[in-house]
């Protein structure tokens, strides 16, 4: 199926390996079944409830986890001991964030877990990203995007902004009519059982324009690959390496094999 909507993950996958992109997004509907992925999704879901003010006490947190903890998904993908450890880790992490949610002085929370989409006229496609938290500082006329992660943070070279930073900066223009910011900041916060120093990114306009041009070229190349797949020419005009599978391809293939095993296991028990 031809795609006209892209996310930073899709773009990064294509840039790393076009074959991995094809496997992940053009040929198969891959859903990660890993314990860490499911826990991360659940943790971000609860953090959004805290940021919206719907969970403000420990008892409310315990009730929410009791009702919505994805036990069925986890039981099918991991052993009981790992699931128990994961539950305790997520619970303790959420307790820490509940005790000290992100509420900078002089700011207003104006968006939580928002999906924002915008069209790129040059490539005739749309890009979309999720904004975990949007904070507005009216006195400073500053708009801040906050991303939450469970992964270790790494400082990047300001001269080489990530795809996520480029996409968020582009999408920020769509929000300017509502919040006429003069400053834009992208903040990444790591969630865990201890305090971590956040990473704050401010990309200069000249650097953004330089790298944005390259990103648009990548989107155009992605469309070429997809058009070839639709026409059945992907195997004749391969845009990717074929001599060996890179680590990106191997990761995707292992997920596919794991999914197939789970499906066959489910079918076995259903027919038994």
Pairing type for strands 125-137 and 5-6 reads parallel
Query: Long-range pairs for 76-80 at CB < 8 Å and ≥24 separation?
Result: 76/33, 76/262, 76/266, 77/33, 77/34, 77/35, 77/38, 77/262, 78/35
pLDDT in tens, 99-148: 999 999 999 999 999 999 999 998 889 999 999 999 999 999 999 999 99
What are 77's two structure tokens? 């993908």
CB 168 within 8 A of CB 212: no
Tell me the three state secondary structure of residue 197. Answer: coil
pLDDT in tens, 55-105: 999 999 999 999 999 988 876 656 888 899 999 999 999 999 999 999 999
pLDDT in tens, 236-250: 444 444 445 666 566
Pairing type for strands 125-137 and 142-149 reads antiparallel
- The domain spans of the chain are 35-99
Instruction: Give the per-residue pLDDT at 17.
Output: 86
CB 148 within 8 A of CB 191: yes
Kindly report the average pLDDT of the chain as a whole number.
Answer: 84
User: Is the entire prediction scored with pTM above 0.75?
Assistant: yes
CB 72 within 8 A of CB 38: no
């Amino acid at each position: 199926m031809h795609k006209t909507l892209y996310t930073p993950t899709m773009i990064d996958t294509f840039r790393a390996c076009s074959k991995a992109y094809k496997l992940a997004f053009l040929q198969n509907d891959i859903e990660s079944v890993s314990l860490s992925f499911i826990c991360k999704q659940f943790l971000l879901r609860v953090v959004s409830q805290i940021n919206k003010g719907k969970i403000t006490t420990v008892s409310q947190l315990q009730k929410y986890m009791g009702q919505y903890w994805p036990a069925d998904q986890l039981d099918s993908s991991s052993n009981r001991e790992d699931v128990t450890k994961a539950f305790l880790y997520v619970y303790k992490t959420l307790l820490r964030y509940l005790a000290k949610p992100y509420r900078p002085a002089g700011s207003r929370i104006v968006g939580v877990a928002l999906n924002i989409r915008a069209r790129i006229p040059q490539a005739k496609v749309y890009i979309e990203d999720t904004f975990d938290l949007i904070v507005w500082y009216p006195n400073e006329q500053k708009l801040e995007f906050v991303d939450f992660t469970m992964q270790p943070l790494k400082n990047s070279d300001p001269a080489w902004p990530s795809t996520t930073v480029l996409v968020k900066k582009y999408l920020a223009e769509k929000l300017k009519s509502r919040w006429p910011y003069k400053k834009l900041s992208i903040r990444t916060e790591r969630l865990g059982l201890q305090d971590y120093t956040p990473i704050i990114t401010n990309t200069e306009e000249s650097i953004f324009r330089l790298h944005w041009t390259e990103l648009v070229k990548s989107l155009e190349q992605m469309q070429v690959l997809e058009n070839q797949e639709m026409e059945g020419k992907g195997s004749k005009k391969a845009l990717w390496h074929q001599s060996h599978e890179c680590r990106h391809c191997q990761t995707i293939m292992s997920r596919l094999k794991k999914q197939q095993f789970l499906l066959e296991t489910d079918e076995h028990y259903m027919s038994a």
